[in-house]
Chain A
Amino acid sequence: MTGSKKNNEVHVQLTDVYKRYSPAVGSHLRNQKTRLVLSEVTIEINKGERVGLIGSNGAGKTTLLKVIAGISKISSGKLVVNGRVNSLMELGAGFYPDLTGRENILLNGMLAGASRKEVRRSMNDIIKFSGIAKFIDYPFYTYSAGMKLRLAFSVAIHASPDILLFDEIVAMGDEKFIKTFQDYFSRVLKEKKTVIFATHVLDVLPLYCNRVIWMDEGKVRMDGETKKVIEKYKKEMKKRKDDS
């Protein structure tokens, strides 16, 4: 009994996961060896945890998120994801420039795993929460980057996800958006949603996350309490800078 209950609490579990990219056939890279982007990754994330993901460019943060979202397939190892995942990774992913904001909501909500009924029911809430009601019937290509982000974020959180994945793009919002984002996080705290959040802006991490995973060259370098990991990370970065 206790065992199965404990299992339900685990939202994301990676065991010895590897991810390799083969070089593209026709490109100038075709003679290169396969590139290892994730290796020996073993992570367990429980329900309601808010995890920050740090590491330099190319450390494997985005690939890790993609793998959890099911967008990319792992090369070996074991991956278990319990619950509905929604990702906010590339700005405009899942949105069609020629369709209006309203038309895009339906498709995007369904991509996020909601049924058509669910999306239709929450349509007004999504538009209201996005704060761009005035422009909702204009084509998506007329939107500014901030408006795109707001709409995508609104759709993402209204699709009642269990696991939310955010990549860097959250940092693109203006102050008002950051405020919305923070408010949402305090709500997430109560709803016990799992959030994984990749960023380079270290200062915001203590606000959102109770745990940070530091990725380094495809491996988990450190995994633990937010402040400790950030401290270690900063020290290492400084050292690397001094060395070079």
Chain B
Amino acid sequence: MLGKEIFSREWWEFLDVLVEKELRMRYKMAIFGFAWIFINPIIQMLVMGFIFQFFVPVKTANYFEFLFPGLLVWNFFSYTVLKNTPIFIGERALLKKANFPKETIVLSVVIVNLLNFLLALMVFVTFEWLVLAEIHWWRWWLLPGIMLWLTVLTTGLSLLFSSLNVKWRDVNYGVQALMPLWFYATPIVYSIDLLPKWAAGFVYYNPMTAIVEILRWVVIGTPVGWVSIWVSILSTLIIFVVGWVVFKNNSSNFDDWL
């Protein structure tokens, strides 16, 4: 039987094999293969940057560099949660083969998307460095912390939604409806000071707001709301714990619903 203790050697090994599988599967039959990691966000940035700079009066020297950090964070978050929510149904062939630590399925998606995110971010930073502006290198030391924070939030929501979706398939549709709304409730294409007061208060306490703003602070030095950081860290932890507990209580019964 596969070593079930979390973080045991077998556990890491299995996770590693799943990550490798995920990478292989994703770009297997695509001619451009891994290039899609870069093509996608660049096209997205060009389109959105082109459109929104006419509508959103953000006071910044370059709207593209304002937009890009937030967009990358958002892409990682939304792709991962959207892919993970129905994942236990998609991977039922694995679940019907053996008893193994099922959280590795969710984590493998998180890790692969995190790699994509980091690669895209590196390209952006290089671009910044060569073409646009000076880089505040000392601020980049915060990056590992930001990534961890974002990853914990994403993993917590992924575990929560994927576990609930096994029994209640409505969850998947709900998440699909929620994501576009959440995108506009996060200051990605706009900055929070452009909002009317009531809307700003709402957006301020969105856990994604602080993550997007702090990465933008690292890149171009725009301001961050300190209270929103603490609110976000706290809600991240709560979401993760709830997600983990729901997953733990339900994972051994997944087979009954698949």
Contacts and interface: CB of A to CB of B under 8 A. Distances in A.
Given A70-B99, A89-B97, 15 more contacts: A24-B167, A26-B169, A69-B99, A81-B1, A87-B98, A93-B96, A93-B97, A94-B93, A94-B96, A95-B93, A98-B28, A98-B29, A103-B21, A111-B94, A116-B13
B14 to A, nearest CB: 6
A93 B93 contact: yes
Interface string B5-37: 000001001101110010011001100000000
A14 B257 CA distance: 23
A86 B99 CA distance: 10
19 contacts: A21-B256, A26-B170, A72-B255, A72-B256, A73-B256, A84-B1, A86-B98, A87-B98, A90-B93, A90-B97, A93-B96, A94-B96, A95-B93, A96-B25, A99-B21, A103-B24, A107-B17, A113-B1, A113-B2
A26 B68 CA distance: 41
B176 interface: no
Interface in A99-126: 99, 103, 106-108, 110-113, 115-116
Contacts of A26: 168-170
Contact of B10 (A22, A106, A115): A115
Contacts of B252: 73
B96 A111 contact: no
The 5 nearest A-B residue pairs measured at CB: A70-B99, A94-B97, A93-B97, A73-B252, A72-B255
Contacts of A111: 2, 94, 97-98, 100
Contacts of A195: none
B95 interface: yes
Interface of B: 1-2, 10, 13-14, 16-18, 21, 24-25, 28-29, 93-100, 167-170, 252-253, 255-257
B15 to A, nearest CB: 10
Nearest to B4: A70
Contacts of A113: 1-2, 98
Interface string A4-36: 000000000000000001101110000000000
A99 B25 contact: yes
Interface residues of A, number: 35
A75 to B, nearest CB: 10
Interface residues of B, dominant DSSP: helix
A99 B20 CA distance: 11
Given A21-B256, A26-B170, A90 B96 contact: yes
A92 interface: yes
Contacts of A25: 167-168
A201 interface: no
A1 interface: no
Given A107-B17, A110-B13, A70 B167 contact: no
A94 B2 CA distance: 14
Contacts of A110: 2, 13-14, 17
A47 interface: no
Contacts of A66: 255
Given A22-B256, A69-B99, A71-B96, A106 B17 contact: yes
A85 interface: yes
Contacts of B100: 111
A115 B16 CA distance: 12
A71 B95 contact: yes
Contacts of A87: 97-98
A119 B42 CA distance: 40
A116 B17 CA distance: 8
Given A72-B255, A85-B1, A110-B13, A98 B25 contact: yes
B255 A71 contact: yes
A25 B168 CA distance: 7
B98 A70 contact: yes
Given A26-B170, A95-B93, A99-B25, A69 B98 contact: yes
B24 to A, nearest CB: 7
A93 B25 CA distance: 17
Nearest to B2: A113
Nearest to B29: A98
Given A93-B96, A113-B1, A99 B24 contact: yes
A24 to B, nearest CB: 6
Nearest to B92: A93
A95 B21 CA distance: 11
Of B14, B93, B256, most buried by chain A (CB within 10 Å of CB) is B256
